[in-house]
Chains A and B, each alone.
Chain A
Amino acid sequence: MSFYKTAALIGNPNCGKTTIFNALTGSHQYVGNWPGVTVEKKSGFFEKDGKTVEIVDLPGVYSLSVISSASEDEKITRDYLLFNKPDCVINILDASNLERNLYMTVQLFEMHLPVILVLNMMDTAAASKIKIDVLALAHVFNVPVIPMVASKTKGIEELKKQILQADLHINDHFVVPYSSHIESAVSEVLPLIDPVARSHGWSTRWLAVHLLDGDTDLRLFGSADNKDRIEKIKNDFSQKYDEDTDTMVADGRYGYITRISRNLIMRCDRLSKNITESIDRIALGRYTGLPLFFFVMYLMFLWTITLGDLLIDPISQFGDKYLVSGFSSLMSYLGMPQWLNVLLSEGVGRGVSTVATFIPPIAFLFLFLSVLEDSGYMARGAFVMDKLMRNFNLPGTAFVPMIVAFGCTVPAVMGTRILSSYRDRLITLMMTPFMSCGARLPVYALFASAFFGRQGANIVFLLYLTGIFIAVVTGILFKKTLFKGAPVPLILEMPPYHLPIIKNIAVRTWDRLHGFIVRAGALIVPLVVVLNLLNSFDIKGNFIPQTPERSILSDIGRSITPIFKPMGITEQNWPATVGLFTGVMAKEAIIGTLDALYAGLAEGATSTQRLVALFDGKTGAFSYLLFVLLYMPCLSALGAIAKEFSLKWMGFVIIWTTGQAYLLSTLFYQSATISRNFSSSFYWISGIIVTELLIFTALFLAGKGKKDDSF
């Protein structure tokens, strides 16, 4: 078959090249191999206006630089462009990633090839609020640019028309301005390679730059002698400027692309520099920054708890009615044995119902966090806390992972990597578990609605503030004792403010919520089943579903509960103790446990009413929440600590967090109830203060031998 023209399709991986190839050629495709290699070669053709055009699909590559680590794909692409000389090169650009894609485009223009630019994925770019000045792009390279949405075949006909144009313009004036050092190396190489470039019809300047960029293929040098001379030029260059020629060439290209991109690519979601600066005057202001940050946090809990609260009751009632009672009646009606009934309705049914009740507060929290992140405010929050921490000589950037910990402790532990000094990482690690993670929120939400009513959001806010306060105190304490030394200064870059993009926020919220529901469901449903089993048998193995107070679980719970008596948990309230233990697996398990066990004890009341009856009012509830806030992180987080640090530090975190949780919640409870039994409370309070003083003294003594630069 004879072709009117041959056009090569070239572009970065995932730029939509294959879709365009298919749209252009339809069923007229054939597959072969590139000469000498096993890489698949796809070609095809299209017919228009009585002319047939061959289309060759080149491998997807990011650049045409053939360096030592380059793959076959780069070599195939380079060889095809140099030796097969297509009549037209169609460079497909991903509009949503234009800056990255332009690197190869610049190389194509340096080669002085007949290029048509196709701006693909214009719809994705528009959805990401990226606007591209198509006319300016055409002007920069002085060639036609076709905007396209290949998945909807928009722009394909226009592309065919362009390809068929008799004489495609070659922009042979295109040059990338390199540094004077590279320009002088180029001028040294030029006379050596001029003959070989001319004989093949290649741009001489491009070839000189390309050889300085690291290609070692002998065919491009003309002779082995030339190759040696050019290698010497490169070596001399590296010696003289302490930088390799390929770095300087890449630097020149990237610099050029960054400059032109500023005029080509507009991020419509970004607020202008002026607006960002005016907002930052308040958001980062010396006196306004911190209050604003706390106000935003307060809004977050007001929003999360108030809205979550509206939905918790209806969902909980619906779950009790249909998933637990309704399911149980259905099973009885079907004549299922009672043990199976208990297992399925009280176990699986209640587990699912529990997970469903805490979806609303968690969803609202994640939504709020996602908006804060997407808008760019989160970085400001970290910045103002950072300044506060610096006042205490604490590692500033530590607050970045700590803010992540409001979502989950695991990524926060990973995020401590942002700190370059191991000592600062350890301090941050010690502080991170006190930042209340998302999984603890359902526990707060349940107690807030059961005990505190309209005050709920304030109580939750107070808990979060307490967490931050204990974190900072912990940081100061360790900084002064075990981990002495000046913090490594780090600069925090402030991103410009963004108008939140609904799609991004929805995706991020859903990702988090989905992960949370799956994880919580996978844990809570089996956990509730097991708890129900343990709660339905007594120690002799008799099935006693009606009298859970005599069950194995109750026995175990009662025997452990006295430990927690000083913080206000009575023996009858043993489910609260069991909740703390299951909470070690994951914090969301606490609420599953409480709901299942209180329901078993309810006898005509709801599990929430039972909860209210068994705790020592608001004081007992707050003391319990304080313990939940402060005690050891869940197994996933402990695993992350062991992996990122060591088992020793994991053990230390467990002891430090749980110890402080016990001491501080007991201190709170005893102080709040001192009028009831003065002497007992007085001994407890004095005992705790003495214990804390002893711990501080021990830490000071342990840190005494350490010098400031011991890490």
Chain B
Amino acid sequence: MILSEIKEYLQSQKQASLKDMATKFDVSESALQEMLAHWERKGRIFRLENAHCSNPCNQGCSSCPLQCLMIYQWKETGK
């Protein structure tokens, strides 16, 4: 089932970007974000902060696809 698949994928990959996972599981990025939010609430995954990256991106010479930078990490310890 999909939440467990996400868990297994992140456990094996250690971390992955939202975009990659959306491609892998063939779900929309917005739907996937909700699924990942479940694991976040459970304290099992950790989303790398991208707050300070949106700043230079907005002002810089090139905006970056933020979904690529939304990276989720599986927490090794804890349940």
Contacts and interface: CB of A to CB of B under 8 A. Distances in A.
B34 to A, nearest CB: 6
A258 interface: yes
Contact of B68 (A251, A418, A516): A418
Nearest to B58: A515
Interface string B16-45: 010111011111101101110010011000
Given A97-B30, A261-B27, A518-B59, A247 B64 contact: no
Nearest to B68: A415
Given A247-B3, A254-B3, A515 B62 contact: yes
A195 interface: no
A258 B4 CA distance: 14
Main secondary structure on A side of the interface with B: helix
B38 A250 contact: yes
Interface residues of B, number: 43
B14 A488 contact: yes
Given A67-B41, A404-B68, A251 B60 contact: no
Contact of B27 (A99, A438, A518): A99
Contact of B38 (A247, A411, A417): A247
Nearest to B30: A100
Interface stretch (A74-82, A198-206, A492-500): A492-500
Contacts of B38: 247, 250
Given A100-B33, A254-B3, 12 more contacts: A97-B30, A100-B28, A251-B3, A362-B61, A418-B15, A418-B68, A420-B14, A496-B23, A512-B63, A515-B61, A515-B63, A588-B61
A252 interface: yes
B59 A515 contact: yes
Interface in B59-75: 59-65, 68-69, 71, 73
A519 B59 CA distance: 7
Given A407-B62, A493-B23, A511-B63, A643 B42 contact: no
Contacts of A488: 14
A338 to B, nearest CB: 36
A414 B1 contact: no
A494 B64 CA distance: 18
A412 to B, nearest CB: 8
Contacts of B24: 493
25 contacts: A97-B30, A99-B30, A100-B33, A100-B34, A244-B42, A250-B35, A251-B3, A258-B25, A258-B31, A261-B31, A262-B26, A366-B62, A408-B62, A410-B56, A410-B60, A411-B64, A415-B64, A418-B68, A437-B61, A490-B13, A492-B20, A494-B23, A511-B63, A515-B63, A519-B60
A520 interface: yes
Interface of B: 1-4, 13-15, 17, 19-21, 23-28, 30-31, 33-35, 38, 41-42, 48, 50, 52-53, 56-65, 68-69, 71, 73
Interface residues of A, number: 60
A97 to B, nearest CB: 5
A97 B28 contact: yes
B17 A99 contact: no
Contacts of B57: 410-411, 414
Q: Which of A62, A67, A420, A588 has the most CB of B within 10 A?
A: A420
Contact of B60 (A69, A244, A411, A492): A411
Interface string A384-425: 000000000000000010001001101100110110100000
